[in-house]
Each structure stands twice: as C-alpha cells, then as structure tokens.
Amino acid sequence: MRATLPPTFSGRHLVYMSLLFVACLLSAQVFAYVQSALGASPALIWPTSGIALAGLILGGVGLWPAILAAAFLAQLLKGATLFVAIGLALGATLQAVVAAWFLRKFGFVNSFSQVRDTLVFITIALFATAVGPALGTVTYALADFPVVQSTSTFIPWWIGQILSVLIITPLLIRWLPRVQFSRTPIEYVEAWFAIASVVFVSMLLYWTAYREIAEVPIVYLILVPLLWIALRIGPRFMTLALFLHAALALGGTILLVRSSDTATSLAPALLQTEIYIVMISSLFLLLVTVAEERKDTANDLRRNIQSLEEAVERIRKEDEAKSRFIATLAHELRNPLAPLMSSLEIMKLEQAENVRASMLAESMTTHLKTMRHLLDDLLDISRISKEKLSLQKEQVDLNAILVRSMGTVDGIMREREHTLTSSLPKEAILIEADPVRLEQVFVNLLNNAAKYTEPRGEITISAKTVGSEAVVTVSDTGIGMDAHLLEHVFEPFFQIDQPGMLRAGLGIGLSLSKNLVQMHGGSIVAESGGEGRGSTFIVRLPFHPTSTSTPNSVPRSMDTREGLRILVVDDNKAAADSLAKLLALRGNETEAVYTGESAIERAPEYAPDVILLDIGLPDIEGYDVARALTKDERVAATLIALTGYGQESDIRKAQKAGFTHHLTKPTGLAEIEEILSKIAKD
C-alpha cells in the first residue's frame, strides 16, 4: 500500500505536516532529556529519524518542511548555536528525504509481505541513514565542537540512526494506516499471547541477573516467540514485537550498567546492544516477509486451484449439457428417419415390379443409411473423447469383415461408377476385435476413397499378414494429398475442398477410424504421392498366427425363419404402423400400440413373442414399461429397445430395465431380422 498526499498545500496537507512537526519535536525533546539524564553519547536510539521517514512514506516527500522545522527548533531548545542547529536540521531532513526518495524509486510497498520490498527497506536503512550523522559530524567539526575528534562519534551515531529506522519506521507504517483485520478471535488471542511472550522473555534476559543456565547463554530464548510471530502471525505484530524487544533490551542495558559495581561505560554497552538489535531486527523482518510471501503464494495457489476446480466443474457441466444436446438431437433426428426407413422397405417389397419406384426407394434408403451413419459417427466421437466407448472383442475373421464392408459401400461405389477390387488371402485371418467397430473403420475408409475419387475411378482393398500384424491397405486413384495435408487428415472435421468431389459428411470418419484402430492396439497411416496421384491408407492390427479356432461370428440373414408374434410400441404412430406393416410383410403377426399404458394392458392378452418398445413414450417411460412387463408372469416376450438414444449409458440402462436387445433408430430391416432370427432359433 502507498499513502501519498497531493503536493498542494491543502488543509489536510497542513494538518499532516503539523502532526509530523509535533511528533518529531516531541521525540527530539524526549531523546534530549534521556541523553542528558544518562550522559550517553549519540549511540542511543534516535526515534526522530524513524518517525520522520515514516511520515514521508505515509504522507509523501512534500512533508519535509515539518522535519526541517522540528529538527531546527529542537536544536535551538537544546542551546545549540544557529550554525549547528541549521547543519543538524539539514542533515536530519536530507536523510529522511533521500531514504523516502530511494524507497519510492525502487517501488517499495510498505506491507512487508514481499521479500524484495523488505530487502530494499533494510538496504536503504543501512546506507541512507549515514547522511544525517555525516552532515552532523561535519557541522560539529566546522563549529570546532570539542566532542568530535574522529569517526568514534560517527559510527555510534550511524548505528543509532539505523536502529531507529529499522524499529520505529516499520512499526508506524504498519500500525498507523487504517487496515481491515480478517483475524478470528482465537487468532487475536494467539497474537497477543505471542507479544506477551516477547515481553516476558525480554524482561527475563535484560531486566534480571539471569544470563545463562548451566553455562549455556539463554539469550537465544528470544528466538522462540519471534519465530512464532514470524511463522504464524505476520508482519504487523512482528514490528510491535521488535519495538518492544528493542525498548526492553536498551532499558535493561542501561539499568544493568547503572547498577553495576564495575566501572563499565554506558556508551560501549549501548552500542553492543544496538548492533545486536539491528541484526535481530533485520533477520526477523526478512523471515516474517518470507513467511508472509509463502502464505500469499499458498493463498493464491488455493484461489487458483479453486478457480480451476470451478472452471473444470463448469466445463464438465457444459460437456454434459453438450452430450445431452447431441443425444437429444440424435434422438429427434432419428425419430422421423425411422418411419421413412420402414416405408421405403415396404415400397421395395410391395412395388418390386415397378423398377423406377424400386430404384428410387433404393436411393432413398442409401441416403437414409448415410444420415444414420453420420449420426452414429458423431456420437462415437463424443464417446471416445469421454473414454466411454468400449469394445466387445471376439475372435473374428478379418476377411469376412472386409467382405461385409465392401457390401455396405456397394451403393456409393455403383453411384460413382467406381471399380472396387479386392485382394484377400484364401485362408482366414483370425484376430481379436470388435466386428462391428472394425467394420465401421473399413466402411469409413472405403467411403472416403469413393468420395475423393473422380467418377469411374479404381479403388482397391487388400489384406495380408506380416509377422505379428494383419495389414489392410485401401488405395484409390483419387485426388491425392500434398504432404502438408497428410499431417491433418486424421483430425476431426478436416475435409479437403476440391471442385467436382462429393463433399458429404462431417469430416469425422477418418478421425473416428484412427481412434477405433488405436483402441484395437493397431495403427493407421495415410500416404499419397501428391495431388492427383491417389491416396493409400494402411491399417495394422495385432495378429496371432497360432490362433486356429473358428471365428465366433453370427451370419446375417434376411429370413426370420418362422413368423413371430410381435407387438410394436411407439408414440410416433407413423413409425409404429409402418414398422408393424413391414414386419407383417416378412411373415410375422404384428400389432401396434402407441402408449406405455396400452402396452402394459395389451401384452398379456396378445401374448407376443417379441415386443419392440420405444423408450421415450409420453405417458410412461419405456424403462418403467419394461420393468412392469418383466414382472408380469403372463408376459414371456423378448423385449427389444427401439430408441433414438444410443449411448453406452442408454444401453446399460436398458439392460437393467429388462431389455434383451437394444436397437437405435432409424433401424434397418436387416438389423431387426437378425435379432428376430436369433429369437426364433432360441
């Protein structure tokens, strides 16, 4: 904190100047009386120097006339000649001004809570205080004053000035300004108890005859309460403790010398005590500053940690809100897709003879699958970033996964008139992998190759084993990439804009593929000879050649074997009716209801084999409907969750509620019939 007054002579400025004048004059008079009574040399602490410097620090250097007037008048009252009075007054004033100017120059902040500030203050106290004694010694010498014979007068005088600035100035600048306290009553009790301990130990050391115990000096006892104050209480009470300690030490020294039977001189004894106090004061001013700085740093760290925790919590909440938004968005987007998908399947079944209608339905189905694929990719990226996507690994044939992937992209390959060729080994490549996620990787790579290759291009996929790795290569004759683009190709939402290229999707397919491959313990790299020279993506997966068991894969079937009795429950009437009709065309007996209550009432009468149940029903949540149906002994149906919510947490929640299977909207007929085929076999 810095307290300065305006340079103009305002009423407030004159009041401060008057107060400083009175304080300096009274302290000088008291000192003159004490010095006269003791007959001591100027070695005794000179309190006026500390008061003068404190006044300039708190009120500004503009208060210097008060110091000059007080020092001049004090010397005249002592009987000094005019020349001596002027010389000593100028020395005292110049000393305070020089010290205050240098403190301001070095940016001193008078809280004694930073090590730099305390070091600056102690350094200036040591050197600037030589100004007054130097001018005073010269003044006495010019006036032929008999006491000044050599530097034997200057040194004690200087030590007294240093002690005054180290003891009086910190006390005044820490206790005079109005400071708000934030201590608890217990902390106040502790602080004043520590001050009382300083007084007690100082009295014991300097006002009694006890100097040692078992030939061990007890002077070190003072370190205990001073350390306590430095480490626990702070600079404000440290300045008071050092002042009380100095006063009691000096008073005790005078008392000891006066009561001694020996011919001990008072001046040397006082000088030794003052040097000791200078050392103790400097040491503990620094120590309390170090402790205060550590406390401030710790408090700042705690505040920063708290701010960081608040920021993390805010980010977590925002992330949760984002995830809920994405999940809700996906749910709302999937709901209208579901009846469209079912309607198109019906069109293909009912209007097979109409070639144009069938082609349109096929094209619309392909684009709907693309929309669903984009939604799934977007959610998968979110799950991977939150480390919530897990793999369901089993032993699978890599060749079979590649064949299925090529079948999935057949539509876009035909649309772009590409030639897709494969080079797969005759023997099975058995690996431990999640077949669904691995198929997702290769579908993304093939889709990417199709999009960034001009129509009637050539795309090749090959697989082989190299040592302990299975290597899959997807190459195309497309637009290729420069070296600087290869560095970014796996970044989320990165896309290459090129005229004539099919720009569809969100630019997250390759990023998702890389994450999924890495989750399998593999790697993926992109290579290109440059612009217009095509691209190659190489996927490496762990391969164990000793594996000879048959892969655990479930064949996909479009046949549901025997017809099943199916109850479709969805509040979207169009979606429920179209799905029920589609399943009926596939040889099943179906019925649709549109509320959770209707499902609970109808299921015991209808006795379905399978219940396709939407989660987001308007009256009763699908999870609660599932629990009610599971508890009803009259219902023995297999429950299949059919919902727009497809996150891992949604799947786990569905399983706990009693669902055996979980399908995410929009669901194609092939996916539903694959599950129905399993149920029919069981």
* Low-confidence residues of the chain: pLDDT under 50: 1-7, 42-43, 148-151, 499-504, 547-560
Cα angle vertex 510, ends 508, 514, to 5°? 115
Bond prior to 555 in cis (omega within 30° of 0): no
Q: Name which of 354, 512, 387 is nearest 441 in CA terms.
A: 512
Q: How do 565-569 and 589-593 pair as beta strands?
A: parallel
Q: What is the pLDDT of residue 480?
A: 87
Q: What is the pLDDT of residue 554?
A: 40
What pairs with residue 526 in β-bridges?
537
Query: What is the homologous superfamily of the domain 393-542 according to CATH?
Result: Histidine kinase-like ATPase, C-terminal domain (3.30.565.10)
Cα angle vertex 352, ends 347, 358, to 5°? 60
Looking at beta carbons, which pairs linking 520-529 to residues 24 or more positions away fall under 8 Å?
520/391, 520/433, 520/434, 520/437, 520/438, 522/469, 524/441, 524/490, 526/481, 526/486, 526/489, 526/490, 527/486, 528/480, 528/481, 528/482, 528/486, 529/480
Per DSSP, 231 falls in state I
Instruction: Specify burial of residue 416 (Cβ count, 10 A radius: 0-12, 13-18, 19+).
Output: middle
Q: Name which of 603, 577, 607 is nearest 592 in CA terms.
A: 577
**Is the distance from CB of 541 to CB of 470 less than 8 angstroms?**
yes
Helix (H) or strand (E) holding 117: helix 115-127
Name, in order, each residue with C-beta under 8 angstroms of 20's C-beta and a sequence gap of 6 or more.
51, 52, 55, 59, 63, 66, 67, 70
Q: What is the pLDDT of residue 639?
A: 93
Q: What is the pLDDT of residue 497?
A: 54
Q: What is the pLDDT of residue 45?
A: 65
What angle separates helix 11-38 from helix 64-77, to the nearest 10 degrees?
30
The encoded tokens of residue 202 equal: 């100082």
HSE-up of 125 (CA within 13 Å, CB side)?
Answer: 29
Domain range list for the chain: 1-179, 319-389+558-682, 393-542
**Is the distance from CB of 664 to CB of 643 less than 8 angstroms?**
yes
Q: What is the pLDDT of residue 56?
A: 93
The encoded tokens of residue 595 equal: 């509320």
Q: Name which of 489, 412, 467, 416 is nearest 443 in CA terms.
A: 412
Distance CA 349, CA 318 (A): 46
**Is the distance from CB of 119 to CB of 111 less than 8 angstroms?**
no
pLDDT, tens digit, for every residue of 395-417?
889 998 998 888 888 878 888 89
Amino acid at site 570? D
Q: Do domains 319-389+558-682 and 393-542 have the same CATH topology?
A: no
Which CATH number applies to 319-389+558-682: 3.40.50.2300, 3.40.718.10, 2.30.42.10, 3.40.50.920? 3.40.50.2300
Amino acid at site 417? E
**Is the distance from CB of 508 to CB of 378 less than 8 angstroms?**
yes
Q: What is the pLDDT of residue 472?
A: 95
pLDDT, tens digit, for every residue of 185-239?
898 899 999 999 999 999 988 888 776 776 667 778 889 999 999 998 989 899 9
Amino acid at site 209? A
Q: What is the pLDDT of residue 143?
A: 80
Query: Can you tell me which residue has the tokens 């960034």?
Result: 452
Distance CA 403, CA 397 (A): 10
